[in-house]
Amino acid sequence: MEKIYAKHLRDMSRSNSLLNKNTLFFFFSFSFFQFSALWAQQPAFDSILKLIPSRVMTTRQVELIAGRTGGSYQERMQSIEKLTAAQLTALPVRSLPEVLSYVGGVDVRQRGLSGTQADIGIRGGNFEQSLIVVNGFKMTDPQTGHHAANLPIPLIAVSEIQVFKSPTVLQFGQSALTGAVHIGAYASDAFQVKTTAYGGSFNSFGAQAMVRMKIKKYQQLLAVARDQSEGHWYNSDFKNHQLFYTSSHPIGANQRQRLTYLAAYTDRNFGANGFYTNKFPDQWERTTMAMAGIKHNFYRKHSNVRQQVLLRSHADEFRLKRFDPSFYTNTHVSNVLSYELQGSFYVNNHHKIDLGIEERFEQLNSSNLGLRERQYQSAFAQAQGAFNGFNYAAGLLVFAYNWQNPQLMPSLQLGRNLAGRQYVFANYSRGNRVPSWTEMYYTDPSNVGNPNLQPEFSHAAELGWRQTPKYDDGTRLSYQVASSLFYRQHTNMIDWVRDASTLSPNPNPWTPVNIASVAFTGFETSLQLSLKKSGTWGLNKFNVNYTYISAQHNFTIEQESRYAITSMRQQLNGVAQIDLSEKVQLNVTYRLVERIAQPLYQVVDAKIQVPIKNKWTVFAEGNNLTNTQYVEAGFVQMPGRWFKLGFTFGHSAIENPRP
């Protein structure tokens, strides 16, 4: 295995040599913009934070949403759901994919425990059609969307998660065909250290640690994690490692510029019984991902400019027989280099114009897919603001692959405040995605790629309403309710199909094709209830969301579809927070999921947290308490009832300790 990965590194080195000229060009551009900004004058950095749409901040209960075009979270004109660090701590989960399974409209299909491998779809879409973003950097993987959720961020370090449930090409660029998930893990001035560890069923063990601190002018965050288990059934053991670091600091005499750095690494080694086929129970896979990025923000009184560079490298080794690599082994090494430049210009207090460009290079060295290379270019413009009581955002993105066949992607959003803290909104957007190299070139006895695949597109519309609570002293009941209707039509949608057969199992291979038209129509509603009472026992908070989706696919009766028969039909999630005493807290969660042509299943989990000393907390988790038998992806039978017991230590201080 080590020899194979040594070969991966050599292949990666050869691939990287192809990037040298492009790397020099983009880093030269980055340096040019950085030094050309030094001439401008600007007030102190803190005085203009309200103008910066870089990440979620609280200012008089108004928060900004993630994305390169920003905006007010309170007056968002599309369905966006936000999870805070406190909510993540309360859930009986160990990984980010497990967290996302509680978000309405998000279909998480795990293969195994603790997020070892997971596919994330949004509102009926599949894992290839949704985009995952970390601190503003996109986790696109040209080999396959299966790897997009190989995230290097330990859950303990996550500050927030925002889920965008409609095409978001203007916020994040291409690949967000059905929506996007933005994960934020930020450094800060305040000092914080936190660690957690657990042990449980299936000889599971895990530990995470995180420290935030400021050294001189440098805000820093470092987090590490390890999870391992012998697995819940044959050949399902795993070892997952994560390492994440980010730092930020101002530059310039007036602190009107800021640099942010990010470096991360993850290594996953796991038995893959049932992941892709049930014919070979000894499947095995190892994936590694390393990324490094730098972001430069430059602020002026009525404008700000941001540019960023990211290099992401991913290696994948897959064996059909774990202990016999000569039988069948695939190796892949992919590299992605991207550069983004964008500026926001404030016309007055009510209007803003956003402009930006993006260039991305993708390369692959694969034993199965061959040597591949392509480029992606895009530019966008958007105007947003308020007039006559309406909020609006209207924009256009143009993109091309390899400087050929440019396409236009429009977007329009409208919103209006009503009496009683109500808000109504409507939006339209067009999304797109280019096929992955697995879809185009992969070949094995059960799958045959299609090199003639074309990009897929979507037209999406949404009509929504929400009512938010008043902010009070915390002694009365408060609630937030939201509902939306959505419609999304795909053209040239990519799906894997095969000819039907009277034989079982079907001997015909799967092949991806562009389907002429597929339509998704759905309804979503949610309620967040806070029972702000003075007692020390009873139900404190209760959240529930429900999603229903109807999908219309155009197939002949002689064809079988891989994704159409498994897309989400309905989903019901519930989370109840119960105070058992002044400090002891019980969280009970419920999930109901039904996919087309698959049986409905229900899962109940619970977590209890008991403070034992200042800064120390003991917790116990029970997963799948009803011992439900179910499958989320592939042929992996998910575990029945299982338990974990662990502890958490946390310490925070306004002042950083002296060295």
For 87-144, write each residue's pLDDT tens digit: 999 999 999 999 999 999 999 999 888 888 999 999 998 888 899 999 999 998 999 9
Q: What pLDDT, in 10s, does the model give residues 637-654? A: 999 999 999 999 999 887
Query: Is the bond preceding residue 505 a cis peptide, omega within 30 degrees?
Result: yes
CA-wise closest residue to 94 among 255, 202, 166: 202
Cα 565 to Cα 56, 495, 571, 596, distances in angstroms: 38, 11, 16, 5
Percentage of residues of the chain with pLDDT beyond 90: 61
- pLDDT above 70: percentage of residues in the chain: 87
8 Å CB contact between 136 and 173: no
User: Which pLDDT tens digit goes with each residue over 209-262?
Assistant: 999 999 999 999 999 999 999 999 999 999 999 999 999 999 987 889 999 999
User: What is the pLDDT, as a whole number, of residue 271?
Assistant: 95
Q: What is the DSSP string of 395-419?
A: EEEEEEETTEEEEEEEEEEEEEEET
Whole-number pLDDT of residue 410: 93
* Mean pLDDT, rounded, for 257-280: 93
Q: What's the rounded Cα separation, in Å, for the pair 530 and 608? A: 19
Q: How far is CA 195 from CA 160, 183, 210, 229, 263, in A?
A: 18, 20, 6, 20, 20
Entry field: residues in the chain = 659
Euclidean distance between CA atoms 532 and 299, whole angstroms: 41
Burial readout 99-136 (b: 16 or more C-beta within 10 A, e: otherwise): bbbbbbbbbbbbbbbbbbbbbbbbbbbbbbbbbbbbbb
CB atoms within 10 A of CB 405: 10
Dist CA 151 CA 213 (whole Å): 23
- The pLDDT value recorded for residue 502 is 84
What is the Cα–Cα distance from 563 to 595, expressed in whole angstroms? 10
pLDDT score, position 460: 94
pLDDT, position 474: 54
Q: Which residues contact 216 (CB under 8 A, 6 or more apart)?
A: none
d(CA 304, CA 353): 11
pTM over 0.85: yes
pLDDT category of residue 552 using cuts at 50, 70 and 90: confident
Check: CB of residue 454 under 8 Å from CB of residue 493: no
Q: Is the confidence at residue 379, as pLDDT, over 80?
A: yes
Condensed to tens digits (0 to 9), the pLDDT of residues 453-499 reads 999 999 999 999 999 877 655 556 788 999 999 999 988 989 888 88
Average pLDDT over residues 169-175: 76
Q: Which residue has the higher pLDDT, 278 or 18?
A: 278
Residue range 8-30: mean pLDDT, rounded: 41
pLDDT of residue 162: 94
Which structure tokens are listed for 45?
A: 């950095």
What is the predicted pLDDT for the residue at 193? 96
Long-range contacts of 475-478 (CB under 8 A, 24+ apart): 475/532, 475/533, 475/534, 476/532, 477/529, 477/530, 477/531, 477/532, 477/533, 478/529, 478/530, 478/532
**Domains, the chain, ordered by start:** 2-653 (2.40.170.20)
